[in-house]
Structure formats: C-alpha cells, structure tokens
Amino acid sequence: MEPIHVVAGVIRDVRGRILLARRTQGRDLAGLWEFPGGKIEPGETPQQALQRELREELGIEATVGGPLIAVPQHAPKALMLDVYEIKHYRNAPRGLDGQALAWVPPEKLAQYAMPPADGPVVAALLQPDRLLITPEPVDGDAWLRALEASVERHGIRRVQLRAPLFATSHPDDWRRLVEQACASLRGQGVDVWINGDAGLAREFDAGLHLRSTQLSSPAASEWSGLRLAASCHSMAELQVAAGLRCDFALLGPVKETRSHPGVVGIGWNMFRDLRAQVPVLPVYALGGLGSADIVESRRNGAQGIAAISAWNA
C-alpha cells in the first residue's frame, strides 16, 4: 500500500514563535497539536499542496522555503510527512476550520502532545544536524586540542566521546580526558555524550550513549536518571531505543566506512524503511557520511549525520 503523502509548514512570527494547530474533534488523533498542512492532492507538488492547505486552513498566502525534514512512518498509519520552512506569509493566521491555534516558543514545543511523526520535526528544529564522534586518542593532549579545534571550526553542537580501546587499556587517562573534554566543550555550548560508561556519564553530568550490545540486556537501574542515546543496526534495536525513551539513536552503517572496509552499508532505502518503524524517535544516519550528506539524510527521515569525518576535515 502506498503511504499517504502529507505536507506541513513551519510558520514563525516576528518573535520566533512557531505556529501549531490543534486537530479538531471527529478527526484521527483529535486533540493533538500539529504543524499546519494536509494531504497532497493528485497533480500537486508538495509546495503547491502546502500553499493551498495553508490558504484553506489559516487564510494566509505563504511563500514556501526549503525542506526541513521528511518523516516516513509505517504505523499506526503508513504516511510520508514532508515538512518545509515558510519564508514569508501574508495575513494573520486564523483557524478557519474551527481549530485552535497556538504560537509556541521553540523550546516549549515538546510540552505539546503531537502525533508520532511530528517528534522528529521538533528534533530537527531544536537539535543539531551533526554529531561528532571522537576517534581513539594516540596522544591525549593532542586529541583534546584537535577536539576543541574541530568543534570550533565546524560549529559542532553535539559530541560523543568514544574511545573503547583506549578506555579499556588506559582507564585513568581516559577519565582525565573525559573530565577535561566535558569542561572545555560545555564552555563552547556543546551537548556532550559518553559512549558506554554510565559511571563517567553520571560523574560528569553527560548523556550516556549506549552501544548496540548494551541494548540486548538493558540495565534500567544502572541508567536511571541519565539522558540516553543509542547506536542501532536493526529494527529490534531501534525499538528498544524507542522503548527506553532515548533522546536519539544512530542508525547504520549507511555506506561503507574506512573503519570497517568491506562491510556493505544498508543504503538510504533501507535506512528510510527502518527509520519509518519508529517515527517518534529522532535518528542520525551513521557510517561513511560527511557534512555533504546532511541534506540527503534529511530527505530520508534522519535528524542529520553522525561521523568521525569532521575531526580532521
């Protein structure tokens, strides 16, 4: 069955607030808030459909800007949600179908109950589109300097501190590097995640990024109170991550990587299909990707890309 193709717009006022509309009684998901839009009719482009829907629902004449994200969803209903930024509009929005409207500060969007497919849209508005994963240190001080330089050079706002080999062979040195990195990165406004080690995440008030192997035997008590994210390679792992209410997941590898030569990536079609199983969970694409792949990742439902590539780029 072909998914229902729907389109929605992100409309901002002069104060930067974002417009939400409440679904009216008698409709699916009545009472939930959503980004205004609707179904694409035969013969329409997504942009034409969005202009028509906003005219009919809100009484505005909109200029549609660039795409924000496309969100595939398999259940409870198969659909593809294309979301666009609205560059300009004329007239004040009104609920012409009797729907309530709300202008919401971006940081308060998560307080509004929304359909599952709108979760990644909120994440795309609020969260970074790139996640830097650190390589193994050779020289600790040089590693720290390179991390700080990479973050500053590329405007990175989210980092995963990951060095499983070094952490195992030099645990004290790794703890020192984590402590220094957390202090430095927070000073740059970076969201810090620590790979696999709940103790370090708790000690330094960072997020805990779960390895895929940790998802097979969740340790809920050990992880209690921590912000969680996860690396996933299958639908089952994505569903565990969603059940743990992870802030986001990494899914891949999408392409062959230098660290795993010969391992064939899942490709964008499989990524999109797996991603559609958990529409509520923000997902970064992982594996053989760089900044040039961000737009393509968004077309396939990703929050953006996670990579080591920005380290020396």
How far is C-alpha 92 from the chain's CA centre? Answer: 31
| 57 in a known ligand binding site | yes
How far, in Å, CA of 207 to CA of 209, rounded?
Answer: 6
Of 272, 237, 233, whose CA–CA distance to 81 is shortest?
Answer: 272
| 36 in a known ligand binding site | yes
User: b/e for 30-51, b at 16 or more Cβ within 10 A?
Assistant: eebbbbbbbebeeebebbebbb
Instruction: Note whether 294 and 304 are within 8 A (CB).
Output: yes
How far, in Å, CA of 22 to CA of 156, rounded?
Answer: 35
| 59 in a known ligand binding site | no
| 12 in a known ligand binding site | no
| 34 in a known ligand binding site | yes
Binding-site residue numbers for 8-oxo-dGTP are: 23, 34-37
Binding-site residue numbers for Mg(2+) are: 37, 57
